[in-house]
Amino acid sequence: MEVALAYDHRTTLATTLGAAALDFAANLRRRPVAFQGRVRDPLLLRQLLLALYDGVAAETRSYGEDESGTLDPVITVHHDQLFLEAFSPDQSSYLRLATPLTAFEPEGEVRYGTTNIDFNADLRGALQRLRGARRTSFSVGAGGFGVTTAVGSGTQEHFERKVDIPDDWVKGFLQVQGALTMPRFSFDIHPVDLLSVLAYQQEHKVRRPPYGMRYELRGGEPITLVLEPWEQHFTLRDAVYTGYERTVRVWGRKRLSLLQGVLPYADRVTVGVLGRGLPHLYTCHCGPYDLTLVLSGWTTSEWSKDAAFDLLAPRAAPDPRQVERVYAFLGEHLVASVRTIAGETSIPDRVVERALFQLCRAGRVMADPTTGRYRLRELFAAPLDVDTLFAPDPRLAAARQLVDAGGVTLRDIHPPTPGQGRQETRAEATVRDGAASYPVTVAVDDTGRVRFGRCACPFFEANLMSRGPCAHILAARLALDAATAATKG
């Protein structure tokens, strides 16, 4: 897809001995967005912006000096917070900086909305000049400050470019948005524990796979992080696990280094894991700021090539009119929880959750991982044709054929255990595919999402769930949905 970017000046940082003015240029091709205020803690903001820059702009540099295929980060101005979001060109890293307006002393007009901001190559060096002792102003919007200092005034220039964004990149960005709506297991760790993990990685280089890491979860014991291939164990102090025993293996551990400059300023880090091979996220709570890093592990684009991630989502699609009602509610209130939306619109909670998943995947709404609420945020100036972008996955069509041909036999169905933390319905099945038959296990939670799957077919044995469920797990899931619906009916 093609995105038009136009700015009437470059993002600049003008400094004097006692003051600094950081002015982010906003895209003129989007609705006007504006904010200006004095930064209460310039040093902390500097470290967070440097992490955001290193995760995206520095990555862009490695792809060459031509930026024509990359999208500038977006900033969203809400009534209570600013959000800066960026996604790396290789789809491995998504970063979001959430900044409450209380971190500033607001000055001038505030215009709510979302726009792109100029993130040029000189920004990193300029950010290094921010000092805690200088009075620092922060602004975003067209026109700039017009500040004149001892080092000269910012050069005003109009420039435009059109960005031809690959579909895989757009899909990857939207898949991350959908992932943030999914239930996850979260726990808090000490920043120094994560710094120890980063130090070990830097001191011990490896040139062969695997490049993953594991979270080992045993009831009543501290969670353990294991780095591969060294099998080095790190005990995460005070993160005591109380659930059932399991191991979650994830990828993208090298990108944790993006947090290295932020961790010394963090009070705590919240880790969230969705499952094996799925995105995992790390939120550094730094005073009033929250910096979230989502590691997708999708550098080979296996998830973003098709709609594989959607195969985990609830199968029942909400009525488009209900989706529009949820969107309209957020358009009026900007931010709300599932419960609030359901109560005000009289739409059932589960339907609201499914509508929000669709809106997040379409880039129109974002899930706030720190509060569990949802916020209006138009990632692009015009709505995307999501149905064309995410064509139905052929595995789902194959699964339906297996069900229609009578190839699925449900042997046992285990309903959720009352009072148990994880409310899942688990089914054991046999799926006949041609001359072969495979034992299959699938677990679906109370929102309709696939939380676990296992099969003996070659596709699953080669990929496990790192590329989504195989056709046989999906067939068992469809059969389970039908059996559950028949029981309720």
Whether omega before 439 lies within 30 degrees of 0, making that bond cis, reads no
Identify whether 172 is part of a domain.
no
What's 198's domain CATH number?
A: 3.10.150.10
Say yes or no: 362 and 403 in one domain: no
Identify whether 160 is part of a domain.
no
Identify whether 300 is part of a domain.
yes
Say yes or no: 149 and 255 in one domain: no
> Does 181 score more than 70 pLDDT?
yes
> Does 465 score more than 90 pLDDT?
no
Whether omega before 106 lies within 30 degrees of 0, making that bond cis, reads no
Q: What is the mean pLDDT of residues 268-284?
A: 91
> Does 367 score more than 90 pLDDT?
yes
pTM of the model: 0.85
Total number of domains constituting the chain: 4
> Does 63 score more than 50 pLDDT?
no
* Residue carrying structure tokens 């830097």: 202
Q: What is the mean pLDDT of residues 84-102?
A: 90
> 381, 374, 358: which is closest to 116 by C-alpha?
381
Say yes or no: 307 and 321 in one domain: no
Identify whether 161 is part of a domain.
no
> 295, 256, 304: which is closest to 273 by C-alpha?
295
Say yes or no: 200 and 292 in one domain: yes
* Residue carrying structure tokens 């299959």: 440
Identify whether 210 is part of a domain.
yes
Say yes or no: 269 and 357 in one domain: no
- Alpha-carbon Rg for the chain in angstroms: 24
Q: Residue 474, SS3?
A: helix
Residues 234, 373: Cα–Cα separation, whole Å: 32
What's 450's domain CATH number?
A: 3.10.450
Say yes or no: 6 and 149 in one domain: yes
To the nearest 10°, report the CA torsion of 435, 313, 299, 70. Answer: 140
End position of a domain, from candidates 333, 368, 389? 389
Residues 477, 400: Cα–Cα separation, whole Å: 10
pLDDT, averaged across the chain: 85
Q: Residue 41, SS3?
A: coil
Contact call for residues 365 and 359 (beta carbons, < 8 A): yes
Identify whether 170 is part of a domain.
no
Q: Residue 292, SS3?
A: strand
End position of a domain, from candidates 258, 286, 311? 311
Grade residue 309 by pLDDT with cuts at 50, 70 and 90: low
Residues 136, 156: Cα–Cα separation, whole Å: 20
Say yes or no: 218 and 269 in one domain: yes
pLDDT at 152: 38
Say yes or no: 465 and 350 in one domain: no
Say yes or no: 377 and 341 in one domain: yes
Between 68 and 481, residue with greater pLDDT? 481
Residue spans of alpha helices (H) in 81-225: 123-127, 167-179, 191-203
What pLDDT, in 10s, does the model give residues 211-265? 789 999 999 999 999 999 899 999 999 999 988 788 988 888 888 999 999 999 9
> Does 61 score more than 60 pLDDT?
no
Identify whether 62 is part of a domain.
yes
Say yes or no: 54 and 139 in one domain: yes
> 306, 259, 309: which is closest to 285 by C-alpha?
259
Residues 435, 86: Cα–Cα separation, whole Å: 48
End-to-end alpha-carbon separation of the chain, Å? Answer: 44
End position of a domain, from candidates 367, 389, 411? 389
Task: Give me the domain span that covers residue 256.
Answer: 179-311
Say yes or no: 235 and 358 in one domain: no
What's 375's domain CATH number?
A: 1.10.10.10
Contact call for residues 383 and 362 (beta carbons, < 8 A): yes
What pLDDT, in 10s, does the model give residues 115-138? 988 887 778 888 888 888 889 999
Say yes or no: 8 and 135 in one domain: yes
> Does 315 score more than 90 pLDDT?
no
Identify whether 162 is part of a domain.
no
